Amino acid sequence: MGYINSYAQSKAIKKVPTVFVDREGVMRWSDSKAEASFYGVNYTVPFAHAFRALHNKGFDRKQAIDRDVYHFARLGYNAYRIHIWDVEISDKNGNLINNEHLDLLDYLLFKLQERGIRILITGMTNFGNGYPERNINTDAFTYHYDKCAVHANPQAIAAQEKYITQLLHHVNPYTGNAYQTDPYIIGFEINNEPCHTGAIQTTSDYIGRMVKAMKKSGNKKPIFYNVSHNMEHVKAYFDADIQGTTYQWYPVGLVAGRERQGNFLPYIDQYDIPFSNLKGFSNKAKAVYEYDPADNLYSYMHPAMSRTFRSAGFQWITQFAYDPMDIAAYNTEYQTHYLNLAYTPAKALSTMIAAEVAYTIPRNKKFEQYPQDTLFGDFSVSYEQDLSVMNAQDKYFYTNNTTVSPLNPVKLQHIAGHGSSPVVEYGGSGAYFLDRLEDGLWRLEVMPDAEKIADPFAKPSLDREVVHILYRSQIIDIRIPDLGDLFTVRSLLGKNNSDEDISVAKTSFSVEPGVYLLKRKNLQLKNSWLASSPWKNGYLGEYYAPKTEALKQPLLIHEQPEVLEKGRSTKLQFRYVFEKQPDSIILQTDQVSFWKDHNPHIKLFSKDNRTYEADIPASLLVGSELKYTATVFVGGEKITYPDNQTGAPLEWNYRVNSYWTVGLYEQRASIGLFESLSKVSSLETFAIPETAYMTAQREHHDLNKVPFWTYTFHAKDSGVQYFWVKDIKSTIAERPAGIVAATKLCILLKHEGGNPLLNAGFVTKKGYTYVENIAIGASGETLVRMDLADLKLVPTALLPAPYPVFLERFFKPTVPVQFDKRDIEKLIVSGEKMEGVALSIAAIWLE
């Protein structure tokens, strides 16, 4: 659809249904009066870092928008939200500037409308445009006022009134509609996460002036305001003449600087709003302007969060933020968030399922508490399998390998997956989609492989790739009753059919990234299907995937175990990232030598095209440690890891500079969980409330004794609870005999001053917490031995702190489960009454 045609159709577009908020605070469609439900993402290409980064990488921004908006539609989103960087489209007086940023925003809104996606616009951010870089001063009005004063300063408010009025009047040249009359824009949020301080009346006056200015401009769309910040001002929000309220949810905090691990289903079980009894609450629509289970790549969380939002009555749910495909390899835009169909396929498919949750789970429907709510409607989620599934009569979506069979394979219309299932077996690591076009004819879309090569949540850089895309041929086996055992495959290249039908042997064939037509053999089609045929507001052969440079040499990624047990064989797993498959991969220990005639080796075997395993016999697990390398043989080259250098250990001129090294322990030996020998503590610290904190210093005054980490506590008020947490899942997994033998949790600590109350224990894979009191006695050094049999179930502390701050900080289980030490995933120590106390910890272990 061209711009001129779109403009000419602006009159027809007025017939598009709009959204209104009824007297009960429910968003409804103007034509049918049915309830509306939305799910989608935030996405920021017109502004700030994404705008700059795409240019720096040489991408055309409008073409980037075309690609990403197609993927929004491919994932089934019907909603989009943006907080506009007013600093990039306004001057110091609040006048709207018609520049490249505004043009890109107009273009983006136009492309979203082509796909039938609705829009919620937040007019202002009132902060700079730099993150994660430095701000660029544009002399806009926001740069002249502090964010916490912008709502009280008369000159600042006048500038905002002028700005919001001109924004509402702005005519999008691609659609021919002003923002305030565009039927695809469902409403306006005044500003992003306002900072209200001082008198509540000042807040009321500010909101009143902004609403008045918007109504005076002619706006008849619902007006939303953020109510999840500045809790002392919440009454002013609900007294205001607004139609909707906006909320956020970051259940596991933000900016961890690393990938978080664990079962977070207890964290997302409920979304309780403590001010729901306020006058005005019940007649205002509820929208989630931003949410994300940050700092992880799990695929089990988004559908569960969408379910919880629906239970709490939300009708608009938008994740923050979708990474533009063309810079998603680096995850620089928002280090703590990472979502893109090409680069995080399992997570992206989980949002596809979350969208279906939003569309099908009734508003305000209540569910049993976790763990009884992992099956709901047509959906299921699993932490242990890192899996979300939608299993309906016509739709079958899954995020990872699953054995769950579709409800009714004969009635399937749409399949989306990552990994393998009873209907599709696939060894690639990208997403794929199957859509029924007519009886016996299916469209197959296959994304390229996506391989994580670095922690996506560490410090970002446009020179640091975190996920690499591979274009590899893969075997796919499709067992859909509608296709049968004999069908043909035709590739759709661009907008033209250029390949002939290829018959498939049984149901399996080789596939490369792209789009294909699968047709039951000897079928007479009802319609003529070409690559250029219209399909889903686009065309049948439409396909977008990242441009990528081939790796110069393979990457062999291996997360070595922390410990291993002697006398017990084990498996070591490696991930191979390269376009060409290896001839072989050989593991050797540090005991091999060019001068020896006999040098044992272990050949890795392939589990799939990217995962390789080495069977390590018990005979190699002797001494105090295992040191090993792995050499990849591919295309006549030899590369040895972890050196990442050309050559092999048995060559006379190759020197091994580094080994993977794993400590070896007797099977029934103690299991070390924490020790103070390192100059960096492995314990993560938290406090409830999070306004309190602790500082740590390593003390090692006597070289004949172990060092201690000493903690000092800082709090404005009493009643603070402090926590020390460490992920120990891998340690427990590699010490099966040790964990069976363990009966006591041991802690070497000392304290000075006060009478602290301490507890220690574990969080299990179910997300349940079991602890026991630590009897520390008088001040001084104490060695505590606690019986594991005495650990008791207690509420699970939700660490780190969730946002918004009004959410519960503890999950209180109602379904008791007996403690099983084999299920341990995290070590947890907690302390209360720590005022005036200096607490030191030297070591924690199981024996």
- pLDDT digit string, tens, across residues 257-271: 999 999 999 999 999
> Three-state SS for 695?
strand
What single-letter DSSP state applies at residue 136?
-
What confidence score (pLDDT) does residue 608 get? 85
Rounded distance between C-alpha atoms, residue 752 and residue 449, angstroms: 56
CA distance 789 to 815: 19
**Over residues 472-493, mean pLDDT:** 94
Please give the distance of CA 814 from its chain centroid, rounded to a whole number: 28
Coil/strand/helix, residue 358: helix
Q: Is the dihedral of CA 536, 541, 547, 550 positive or negative?
A: positive
Residue 776 is predicted with a pLDDT of 84
Q: Which residues neighbour 789 within 8 Å (Cβ) at sequence distance 6 or greater?
A: 743
pLDDT tier for residue 9 given thresholds of 50, 70 and 90:
very low
Query: Which residue would you say has higher pLDDT here, 737 or 597?
Result: 737
Question: Is the whole-model pTM more than 0.75?
Answer: yes
Between 162-166, 463-467, 517-521, 715-719, the lowest mean confidence (pLDDT) is in 715-719
Owner of token pair 């970002």: 460
- Asked if pLDDT for residue 494 goes beyond 70, the answer is no
With a cut of 60, say whether residue 10 has pLDDT above it. no
**Lookup: tokens for 734:** 């590699």
Three-class DSSP labels, 669-683:
CCEEEEECCCCCCCC
In the prediction, which pLDDT does 6 show? 45
The chain-wide mean pLDDT, for the chain, equals 95
Average pLDDT over residues 493-508: 73
Q: pLDDT by residue (tens digit) across 507-528? A: 999 999 999 999 999 899 988 9
pLDDT, position 609 = 82
Query: What is the average per-residue pLDDT within 308-322?
Result: 98
Distance CA 404, CA 388 (A): 11
Nearest to 780, CA basis, from 675, 708, 712, 673:
708
| pLDDT tens-digit map of 791-815 | 999 999 999 999 999 999 999 999 9
Q: Which of 399-408, 580-589, 703-712 has the least mean pLDDT?
A: 703-712
pLDDT higher than threshold 80 for residue 295: yes
Q: What is the mean pLDDT of residues 738-753?
A: 96
> pLDDT digits over 205-216, tens only?
999 999 999 999
pLDDT > 70 fraction of the chain, expressed in percent and rounded: 98
Q: Under a CB-based contact definition with an 8 Å cutoff, are residues 182 and 7 in contact?
A: no
Q: Verify cis geometry, omega within 30 degrees of 0, for the bond prior to 800.
A: yes
pLDDT value of position 4: 40
Contact between residue 488 and residue 503 where contact means Cβ atoms under 8 Å apart:
yes
CB neighbourhood size of 351 (10 A): 30
Contact between 453 and 473 (Cβ < 8 Å): no
Q: What percent of the chain has a predicted confidence (pLDDT) above 90?
A: 92
Instruction: For residue range 426-465, list pLDDT tens digits in order.
Output: 999 999 999 999 999 999 999 999 999 999 999 999 999 9
Do you find a cis peptide bond into 554, omega within 30 degrees of 0? no
Outline where DSSP puts E strands in 754-794.
757-764, 769-774, 780-787, 792-794
Amino acid identity, position 449: D
Phi, psi of 717 (to 5 degrees): -130, 165
Contacts of 686 (CB under 8 A, 6+ apart): 722, 723, 725, 797, 799, 800, 801
Write out the DSSP string of 533-571.
Answer: SEETTEETT-------PPPSS-EEE----SEEETTS-EE
CA distance 807 to 305: 14
Distance (Å) of CA 161 to CA 35, 38, 392: 32, 29, 48
**Average pLDDT of the residues in 305-322:** 98
Residues 597-648: pLDDT tens digits?
899 999 999 998 899 999 999 999 999 999 999 999 999 999 999 999 999 9
Token pair of 777 as six digits: 């006695």
Note the pLDDT tens digit of each residue in 645-687: 999 999 999 999 999 999 999 999 999 999 998 888 999 999 9
Which two three-digit tokens encode residue 824? 């341990």
pLDDT tens, position by position, 81-135: 999 999 999 999 999 999 999 999 999 999 999 999 999 999 999 999 999 999 9
Say whether pLDDT at 587 is over 60. Answer: yes
User: Tokens representing 694?
Assistant: 């602790």
Find out whether the peptide bond into 642 is cis, omega within 30 degrees of 0: yes
Residue 495, pLDDT above cutoff 80? no
Calpha distance 191→612 (Å, rounded) = 51
| Mean pLDDT within 150-162 | 96
CA dist., res. 387 & res. 750, Å (int): 43
What is the end-to-end Cα distance of the chain in Å, rounded? 70
CB 642, CB 629: distance < 8 Å: yes
**pLDDT-based confidence at 493, cuts 50/70/90?**
confident
Scored b (16 or more CB within 10 A) or e, 368-403 reads eebbebbebbbbbbbbebbbbbbbbeebbbbbbebe
Q: Dihedral of the CA atoms 424, 425, 430, 433 (nearest 10)? A: -10
- Tokens representing 155 are 């000159």
> Alpha-carbon distance 761 to 291, whole Å?
31
pLDDT of residue 455: 98
* Model pLDDT, residue 13: 55
In this prediction, residue 496 carries a pLDDT of: 42
Name, in order, each residue with C-beta under 8 angstroms of 655's C-beta and a sequence gap of 6 or more. none
pLDDT band at 777 (very low <50, low <70, confident <90, very high): confident
pLDDT given for residue 8 in this prediction: 42
**Helix axis angle, 301-311 relative to 345-360, nearest 10°?**
20
Q: How far is CA 603 from CA 584, 606, 631, 654, in A?
A: 7, 10, 10, 20
